[in-house]
Structure 1
Amino acid sequence: MIEELRDLITGARWVLFDFDGPLCRLFAGHRAHDVADSLADRLERHGRPVPLTEEERAFGDPYTVLRAVARARPGSELVRTLEEELTREELRAAATARPTPYADPLVRTWSAVGGRLALMTDSSPLVAEEYLTGRGLAGCFTPHIYGRTPGPDHPEPGPDRLGRALTAWGARPAETLRIGGTPSDLFAARETGVRFLGHARDERRTRRLLGAGAAVVVDDLEPVLRVVRATARV
């Protein structure tokens, strides 16, 4: 694992973090499943059932609900209303978000040794900025925080969105490392030629990433921190 991490990290001048997972557990005290159910129930009460698979419903991801509605009714007022409601729920969740162990020192260390850090998330950028400011980490990322924005395609992760972020950031794909927690993160990184390090906080998420083809998945950032520190001393 250490050798694989060293291969990924060495030569990675740009590091693009996901937010919920690698940096924190956003819904630690405000359950994501409850938020997803609330969004879906609101739609069904108004006669607009969400086109979700059984697996998607079981996973309880509010972002999946928003993406499903955006696909079914792109650019609609309904999508905008749901996005605004989700942002309110995220802001509530940020107050009780739980930092991922070793994430704070990893960010500070990587920034201190010259790494160029950015954040790309399906969450609202307002939420990410509020959390990072509260942890004293905003300066390590700003102005390169790429979050959900209004628009017909805004909830959908993918290589086009990642490519636009890299262009705005001025990053070279071959020298960029994406730290993400979903198969969508992996596929987007692969399509754009970006290195990928999977982070999963439980066995189910680990299996999803490995099943999607991720070469390296960690459930603990401590070895990543060790490699960053060792690489900086070389």
Structure 2
Amino acid sequence: MTSDTTQTDAVVAQTENLRDTITRARFVLFDFDGPVCRLFAGHSAETVARDLVEWLEQQGMRGLLTSEECVHSDPMAVLHAVNERRPHSDVVVGLEARFTQQEFKAVTKARPTAYADALIRTWKAVGAQLAITTNNSPLAAARYLAGRGLAECFAPHIYGRTQDLHHLKPDPDCLNRALTALGAEPSKALMIGDAPSDLYAAQRAGVPFLGYARNEDKEKRLRGAGAEHVVASLETVLRVLWT
């Protein structure tokens, strides 16, 4: 057997494994920012992170952040840092509420992920039960889905950030809440996410995982974290459901 033949066989096997992973899923858990939309496409994450830092400064709490964290481009990292130093405090509650307000602004300018709307509607049409499992505000996710006419595909199963920020992914809390509400066995579910934290949460919940990587950097991070199945476009998943 030649090396070319071996490589071809491996690709065929990988494709079939991906197909099996998709078609056997009876419960599909979508991360929100990434697989469903680019939440901060028009209201950038950098802008939001800067707003959170400015809010902390107004409260006299900027000292809770390191100099590097003060210029971080990820608002979730700012929220996480403050929660680590002042868990369950009023400042964390206020910062989380401020973040939610910024997410609401972002929803109005969010960009749908290519093929996401069609994939969601198709998966629902073929009988799968769907849920959102996200570190973002569940209210922001619900507002976006309503605006896209997708609310009925998920309602009421939208599980996102709570005030207990220690339960953000990679903690499997939002996945476990979804599985319990759906009455789903983890092995019959599928988590679709675009970050290692999604993969780790799925692993801890016992749920198969499918990575979505819109660029090479995201694919590298997912592969490096151990993701077996990663697609560059949701069209790949949609085509499997169509066949």
- In structure 2, the partner of 1:214 is 227
Highest Rg: 1 or 2?
2
- In structure 2, the partner of 1:181 is 194
Q: Which amino acid aligns with 2:62?
A: R
Instruction: Pick from 23, 35, 48 the counterpart of residue 62 of structure 2.
Output: 48
Taking the aligned partners of 2:220 and 2:190, their CA distance within structure 1 comes to 21
The alpha carbon displacement at 1:204 in A equals 1.9
Taking the aligned partners of 1:190 and 1:58, their CA distance within structure 2 comes to 32
Matched, 1:6 2:2: no
Taking the aligned partners of 2:55 and 2:145, their CA distance within structure 1 comes to 31
Instruction: Pick from 57, 62, 78 the counterpart of residue 75 of structure 2.
Output: 62
The alpha carbon displacement at 1:47 in A equals 4.1
Taking the aligned partners of 2:66 and 2:226, their CA distance within structure 1 comes to 24
The alpha carbon displacement at 1:155 in A equals 4.2
Deviation by residue 1:43-79 (Cα, 9 ceiling, x = unmatched): 356243455696x778722112112211221110111
Matched, 1:100 2:123: no
The alpha carbon displacement at 1:24 in A equals 0.5
Instruction: Pick from 131, 136, 140 the counterpart of residue 127 of structure 1.
Output: 140
Deviation by residue 1:179-198 (Cα, 9 ceiling, x = unmatched): 01111110111122100001
Matched, 1:200 2:240: no
Secondary structure class of the residue paired with 2:88: coil
Q: Identity over the aligned pairs, expressed in percent?
A: 56
Secondary structure class of the residue paired with 1:178: strand
Aligned length: 229
Instruction: Pick from 182, 185, 188 the counterpart of residue 172 of structure 1.
Output: 185
Unpaired stretches in structure 2, ≥5 consecutive residues: 1-13
Taking the aligned partners of 2:21 and 2:171, their CA distance within structure 1 comes to 21
> Are the structure 2 counterparts of residues 140 and 61 from structure 1 closer, same or farther at C-alpha, using a change threshold of 3 Å?
same
Q: Which amino acid aligns with 1:159?
A: P
Q: Contact 1:132 / 1:138 at 8 angstroms: preserved in 2?
A: yes
- In structure 1, the partner of 2:96 is 83
- In structure 1, the partner of 2:36 is 23
Q: CA RMSD in A?
A: 2.1
Of the structure 1 ranges 67-76 and 105-114, higher mean CA displacement relative to structure 2 is found in 67-76
Instruction: Pick from 120, 124, 131 the counterpart of residue 111 of structure 1.
Output: 124
Secondary structure class of the residue paired with 2:62: coil
Q: TM-score, normalised by structure 1?
A: 0.90
> Are the structure 2 counterparts of residues 130 and 196 from structure 1 closer, same or farther at C-alpha, using a change threshold of 3 Å?
same
Q: Which amino acid aligns with 1:137?
A: L
> Are the structure 2 counterparts of residues 140 and 192 from structure 1 closer, same or farther at C-alpha, using a change threshold of 3 Å?
same
> Are the structure 2 counterparts of residues 190 and 156 from structure 1 closer, same or farther at C-alpha, using a change threshold of 3 Å?
closer
Taking the aligned partners of 1:36 and 1:52, their CA distance within structure 2 comes to 14
> Are the structure 2 counterparts of residues 84 and 211 from structure 1 closer, same or farther at C-alpha, using a change threshold of 3 Å?
same
> Are the structure 2 counterparts of residues 75 and 205 from structure 1 closer, same or farther at C-alpha, using a change threshold of 3 Å?
same
The alpha carbon displacement at 1:88 in A equals 0.8
The alpha carbon displacement at 1:216 in A equals 1.4
Q: Contact 2:193 / 2:211 at 8 angstroms: preserved in 1?
A: yes
Q: Contact 2:49 / 2:72 at 8 angstroms: preserved in 1?
A: no
Taking the aligned partners of 2:165 and 2:213, their CA distance within structure 1 comes to 29
- In structure 1, the partner of 2:159 is 146
Deviation by residue 1:146-166 (Cα, 9 ceiling, x = unmatched): 011223535454124422331
Of the structure 1 ranges 197-206 and 175-184, higher mean CA displacement relative to structure 2 is found in 197-206
Q: Which amino acid aligns with 2:127?
A: G
Taking the aligned partners of 2:67 and 2:191, their CA distance within structure 1 comes to 28
